[in-house]
Chain A
Amino acid sequence: MENFVQQIINGLTLGSIYGLIAIGYTMVFGIIGMVNFAHGDVFMVSTFIALILFLALTQLLGLPSIYLALFLVLVAAMVLTSLWSWAIERVAYRPLRGSFRLAPLISAIGMSIFLMNFVQVTQGPRNKPLPPMFNDVIQLSGLPGAANGITLAWKQILIMAVTAVLLCVFWFVVQKTALGRAQRAVEQDRRMAALLGVDVNRTVSLTFVIGAALAAVAGTLYLVQYGVVRFDDGFIPGVKAFTAAVLGGIGSIPGAVLGGLLIGLIEVLWSAYVSSDYKNVAAFSVLIVVLIFMPSGLLGRPEVEKV
């Protein structure tokens, strides 16, 4: 029993990270209808930015407080990752609006390959391990049936809390602010929105920037939780986060987080109780099954085909 609860906690932690990445997929897909294939690699770039900045602050500048360092790293990683994503959109996607159907996706795949190999060339192909940090845990032993107790690390609480707060913030942004209204307008009809004075390019750019900032939060938290990054770490989490976005209903922000939590739970429970070798097969099978039998996801709207 305690093992099961422990797995649930681990699954929710992993799922929160997937959920944060999935918001980027779902917002971009909602607004310009393209799968931003490079988003997983933007997440990977953000983990590297966070890692390098963390090392720079603690080793080069000798910042004593690890909490202050982490906070600065988080902010700087969000800014720099957003800039990466903005530049990618500007260079690789914007010229292709109105091009043929597969062009943006192929361009995104090219960008994904580029980012992965760029980091491999500049940072080397090996694992980058950080020593574990924030190791304080809470022992929950009072629960009925829990003999050895369940450990809940503070960083796991941090990850889930940050995800919950960001979900609320962005839900508010999309529902209540001018930016959110512009986004929804562009999503519904790009040309009409432009005619009514919405700056489409700016809105799309901002969407990419927000998605990348959330991916940077996920990247920093991923680094804190798992402590090791590699140049190809963006690919599999990227596909899983996309699965999460599809499962939750693509275009829906709460759906993305819900889907992320579900994918995290499925993955962790599958590797705990069925087979850890095949945990990725579980996530990919979910993608295939959802796309075939439930393409509008849990919270999404059914898609209407227009001629």
Chain B
Amino acid sequence: MAATDASGPTRLGKALRDAGFAALVAAALSFPILALRAEADMNNTLVLEQRWSWILVAAAAVGSARFFASLLDDWRARAAAVLGAWALLFGAGLAVFSRLLDRDALVWALGAGVLLLAYAWFQETRARPAPAAPAAAAPKTRDALRLFAIAATAAVIAYPIVLLFWLGPQGSLKWINNYGVQILIYVMLGWGLNIVVGLAGLLDLGYVAFFALGAYAYALLSTTFGLSFWLCLPLAGVLAAFAGVLLGFPVLRLRGDYLALVTLAFGEIINIVLTNWVDVTNGEAGVSSIPRITFFGLPFTAADDGFAATFGLGFSPIHRTIFLFYLVLALALLTCFITVRLRRLPLGRAWEALREDDIACRSLGLNTTNIKLTAFALGAMFGGFAGAFFAVRQGFVNPNSFTFMESATILAIVVLGGMGSQTGVALAAVAMIGGTEILRELDFLKRLFGEDFDPNQYRMLIFGLAMVTMMIWKPRGLVSNRQPSIFLKERRAVSGGLVKEGHG
């Protein structure tokens, strides 16, 4: 860009100064926490393990990131340059410390680094066309998104069948269960929370409490009274929605961040009660031997009246997994469908209006308490459904599945999906939950980072950083344009960044 050329040398100097400063700060920050590790030895006394080279690594990583962020204008160039610099650093680290010296890894790291830096240079220097007006581009994006959503739904419906034919019942079990069902639970929870956070703009940090209530509702009703899953599913939803209303009535007149803290406290209280009310919930030990799912009354067993025998199929555990997959898919799509339709009703429009400006809503005579309450109750209801499903899938529940970290994970999915966007939330769930599961499968990561490398350890670390990055980079989300649901002559979408938000 012209401005860059004119101020080239000074800009470079400034970038170097920034980078040096950032590296110094990173070194100082990492001095006690990174360089020394306190670990209890055999006698349970703490001893320090020294690893001073980590300071150098942290300083180099932060310094190079700051250098390119300060030097380059285009965000693509910045991201590519930072990643490239890290790849080069990683290669250099492999060569110097040689603990894991691996020629292939070295070549890959250096090659990727050079390629990324070249791409960054190309992005930064190429002439860019003037950005198109957001309003003109929006309808095309909208159609593309709709097409994508339909195609993705079809792909998800076909997913277990394709896998079954491809990998056989044994091979596909892991892929349908760990990836399919697991991700879809989070998609559903994300969509449920999206009603509360994305549409109504109420930050709920205790969403997992409703999930827990649904799970325990099914677990306790089925083990104590022998009620079937199909009866408990709506009951769990109603119970969770009722809890949502109960919590909502007093707290919904609080302003945003107070509301967040109160919902957090509520979630913690539910968790503590589940842990300590041993007579009912069996405490930490949890509720086990919860009845498994049945095909509308036919159990998935090898018995004569089981699902397989009735339909003349050979017994296989994959039947249950596939049924669970379609069940959670149906529940998730129901959540999505209801949300999308509600957005077009006056109620849904009121949610979004409330999110944009609380005070304006009240001035226009909307009953904000009722509007918030419906959002809260609906979100809680879907959380309850998901909870009942979770209990029937696991066959076992205990309070450890319902901690604040779980709430934070769901919130991270909603935030990264671009609050309010159904497609975005689904994509974020796939990327965040599926992504870390996939990382576990990759052998070359084990070769790079050692045998005991476990990406799950880093999952929440990355979630946290991603939330911060997302807020700084695109606070209104990746897929953030505001679609008017009612319009006079033509539909003119407004880019999310242009929406000025009121305080409330």
Contacts and interface: CB of A to CB of B under 8 A. Distances in A.
Instruction: Tell me, yes or no, whether A binds B.
Output: yes
Interface of A: 34-35, 45, 48-49, 51-53, 55-56, 59-60, 80, 83-84, 87, 91-92, 95-96, 99-107, 109-124, 126-131, 235-236, 239, 242, 246, 275, 277-278, 280-281, 284-285, 287-288, 291-292, 295, 305-307
A123 B268 contact: no
Nearest to A45: B33
Contact of A52 (B48, B256, B275, B415): B48
B468 A52 contact: no
Contacts of B31: 80
Contacts, number: 188
A219 B330 CA distance: 49
Given A35-B261, A52-B38, A107 B254 contact: no
Given A48-B32, A284-B269, A112 B25 contact: no
Most buried by A among B44, B256, B411, B465: B465
Contacts of B33: 45, 48-49, 52, 118-119, 122-123
Interface in B27-58: 28-29, 31-34, 36-40, 44-48
Contact of A129 (B44, B257, B412): B44
24 contacts: A35-B257, A51-B38, A55-B48, A56-B32, A80-B32, A83-B29, A96-B471, A102-B203, A102-B256, A105-B203, A106-B471, A114-B464, A121-B461, A122-B37, A123-B38, A129-B40, A129-B44, A242-B261, A277-B272, A288-B250, A292-B262, A305-B359, A307-B502, A307-B503
B71 interface: no
Given A288-B266, A292-B250, A113 B464 contact: yes
Contact of A110 (B254, B272, B465): B465
Interface string B73-93: 000000000000000000000
B201 interface: yes
Question: Which applies to chain A's interface (DSSP): helix, strand, loop or mixed?
Answer: helix
B54 to A, nearest CB: 8
Given A239-B265, A307-B359, A59 B257 contact: no
Nearest to B263: A288
B463 interface: yes
B41 to A, nearest CB: 11
B258 interface: yes
Interface in B236-280: 250-251, 254, 256-258, 260-262, 264-266, 268-269, 272-273, 275-276
B460 interface: yes
Contacts of A123: 33, 37-38
A209 B465 CA distance: 22
Contact of A280 (B29, B268, B460, B472): B268
A280 B273 CA distance: 10
Contact of B38 (A55, A118, A121): A55
B457 interface: yes
B501 A100 contact: yes
A70 to B, nearest CB: 16
Interface in B410-466: 411-412, 415, 457-458, 460-461, 463-466
Contacts of B463: 110, 113
Contact of B203 (A106, A113, A278): A106
B408 interface: yes
B278 to A, nearest CB: 9
B46 A99 contact: no
Contact of A295 (B40, B258, B269): B258
B393 interface: no
Question: Which applies to chain B's interface (DSSP): helix, strand, loop or mixed?
Answer: helix
B297 to A, nearest CB: 41
Most buried by A among B256, B268, B359, B471: B471
A103 B475 contact: yes
Contacts of A110: 412, 415, 463-468, 470-471
Nearest to B500: A100
Interface residues of B, number: 64
A237 to B, nearest CB: 13
Contacts of A51: 38, 46
B501 A121 contact: no
A208 to B, nearest CB: 14
A271 to B, nearest CB: 12
B504 interface: yes
B404 interface: yes
B372 interface: no
A130 B44 CA distance: 9
B319 to A, nearest CB: 38
A237 B399 CA distance: 20
Contacts of B504: 101
A277 B274 CA distance: 11
A128 B46 contact: yes
B202 to A, nearest CB: 9
Given A281-B273, A284-B268, A239 B467 contact: no
A121 B36 CA distance: 13
Most buried by B among A87, A119, A122, A131: A122
B67 to A, nearest CB: 15
Given A51-B46, A102-B256, A292-B262, 12 more contacts: A48-B38, A101-B201, A101-B504, A102-B201, A105-B256, A110-B463, A113-B460, A119-B33, A123-B37, A124-B37, A128-B40, A288-B251
A295 B262 CA distance: 12
Nearest to A130: B46
A121 B46 contact: no
Contacts of B404: 235
Contact of A288 (B25, B32, B262, B411): B262
A242 B264 CA distance: 12
Nearest to B259: A291
A96 B359 CA distance: 22
Contacts of B47: 55, 59
Given A117-B464, A288-B251, A129 B501 contact: no
Interface string B458-494: 1011011111101110011000000000000000000
